[in-house]
């Protein structure tokens, strides 16, 4: 199956966004994909803010993007846009770092007023970076995500069903991308 880079754009380790993404990673693993997590918050601030393209953490992130067949990008929404730490990392990647990749954008936030951040803030950046296919993403309200002290997560039924569908669509798109070279060679 495919290699998936699971990118958390949350500045907080205990955020709902981060925990939801790691929960969804398990679904992708169960579908046979190899998932590599990357939390932008673990990249040193001096590398991100200083635009240090040669910093080992930036080089490592660049390598993870290059190795991935697909990328799941999850971010909290702040002031109608994706997180600043996510923007800082994306700015340090090559212009076409997503060329040939299938991408699933996900966002969380406190109000449905932020739903359009996926389509009007994040999707244009992902497309400009050469993504072969940006599948329909999903916005999940913070109130629909409950993180428990034992590390488990509960997602409200309607949101859980919708998230399952978008993850399954992403997985199916990865499967088609895996077969694409063979289909064109056979034609």
- Mean pLDDT (whole number) for 87-104: 97
CA 137 to chain centre: 10
pLDDT at 64 over 60: yes
Q: Quick one: tokens of 20? A: 């939801």
pLDDT at 14 over 50: yes
What is the pLDDT confidence band of residue 142, given thresholds at 50, 70 and 90? very high
Q: What is the CATH number of domain 3-186?
A: 3.40.50.360
Q: Is the pTM of this model over 0.85?
A: yes
CA angle 133, 110, 151 (to 5 degrees): 80
């Amino acid at each position: 199956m495919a290699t998936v880079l699971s990118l958390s754009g949350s500045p907080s380790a205990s955020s709902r966004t981060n925990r939801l993404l790691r929960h969804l990673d398990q679904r992708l693993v169960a579908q046979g994909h190899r998932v590599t997590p990357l939390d932008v918050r673990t990249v040193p601030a001096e590398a991100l803010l200083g635009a240090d393209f040669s910093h080992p953490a930036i080089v490592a992130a660049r390598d993870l993007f290059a190795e991935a067949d697909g990328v799941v990008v999850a971010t909290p929404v702040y002031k109608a846009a994706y997180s600043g730490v996510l923007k800082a990392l994306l700015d340090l990647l090559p212009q076409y770092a997503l060329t040939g990749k299938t991408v699933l954008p996900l966002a969380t936030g406190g109000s449905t007023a932020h739903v359009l951040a996926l389509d009007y803030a994040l999707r244009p950046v992902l497309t400009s970076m050469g993504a072969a296919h940006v599948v329909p993403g999903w916005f999940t309200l913070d109130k629909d995500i409950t993180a428990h002290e034992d590390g488990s997560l509960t997602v409200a039924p309607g949101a859980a069903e919708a998230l399952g569908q978008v993850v399954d669509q992403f997985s199916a798109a990865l499967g088609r991308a895996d077969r694409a070279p063979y289909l064109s060679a056979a034609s």
